[in-house]
Structure 1
Amino acid sequence: MAERVRACPGVAGLSGGPFGTVATYLPGERVMGVSADGDAVTIAVVATLDRPLPETAEDIRRAVSDLAGGRPVNVRIDDVVE
């Protein structure tokens, strides 16, 4: 999921949130900015200002929806950069 999110227009990078809680733990790796539980998938990003934020969020949802297992995809924009 992280690779797909990073490839979306308007995404400067993934964000772990203010306390680093948005993350997935894999063997030997921590993927910041993507968290999935039984109810939903949460994606946290730093967005760019070159396009409307709602469009960026929708592009992210579309990019990962087939990997979400039918769960809703919540997109959180934690920061913006120029």
Structure 2
Amino acid sequence: MTPAVAPEDEPQGLADRVAAAALSVPGVHDLHGGVLGEVATYLPGRRVAGVRLLDGVTQVHLVLEWDAPMSATIDEVRSRVAAIVPGVVHLAVEDVAGPAAVAGD
């Protein structure tokens, strides 16, 4: 008999929790689905773009804020995601959001 899996540990709950953890880090602007939108966890009726759950590996693709300290931001994302998922966490910075428009330009 297979043990029951808690809802938060199923791919749907886990992908959403990983996305929320990454987005909660200051300096993270958004998640990025890859060049062709291929980086995602596909769920019934929707997908979680920017998060790919594989056996023992979690991939998170990020868009950082213009002024975010890259190394510190990545370290914090990795730490928060690693607390949720088993195995290795791979991060990719796919883009950087441009600086906010200056009023009057």
Q: Same fold (TM over 0.5)?
A: yes
Unaligned runs of 5+ in 1: none
Q: String of CA shifts for 1:28-52, please: whole Å, max 9, x gaps.
A: 2200000011141110011012221
Q: Aligned with 1:16: secondary structure?
A: coil
Partners of 1:66 and 1:28 in 2: CA distance: 27
Which of 63, 66, 72 is matched with 2:83 structurally? Answer: 66
1:78 corresponds to 2:83 = no
Provide the alpha-carbon RMSD of the alignment.
1.1
1:34 corresponds to 2:51 = yes
Scaled by the length of structure 2, the TM-score of the pair is: 0.72
Q: String of CA shifts for 1:4-53, please: whole Å, max 9, x gaps.
A: 11111111000001011110012222000000111411100110122211
Which residue pairs with 1:54 in the alignment?
Answer: 71
Partners of 1:65 and 1:48 in 2: CA distance: 22
Runs of 4+ deviating beyond 3 Å: none
Structure showing greater Rg: 2
Q: Structure 2 counterpart of 1:74, which letter? A: H
With a CA cutoff of 8 Å and minimum separation of 6, indicate the structure with the bigger relative contact order: 1
Scaled by the length of structure 1, the TM-score of the pair is: 0.90
Q: Which has the higher strand share?
A: 1
Q: Structure 2 counterpart of 1:59, which letter? A: E
Q: Structure 1 counterpart of 2:73, which letter? A: T
Percent identity for Structure 1 against Structure 2: 35
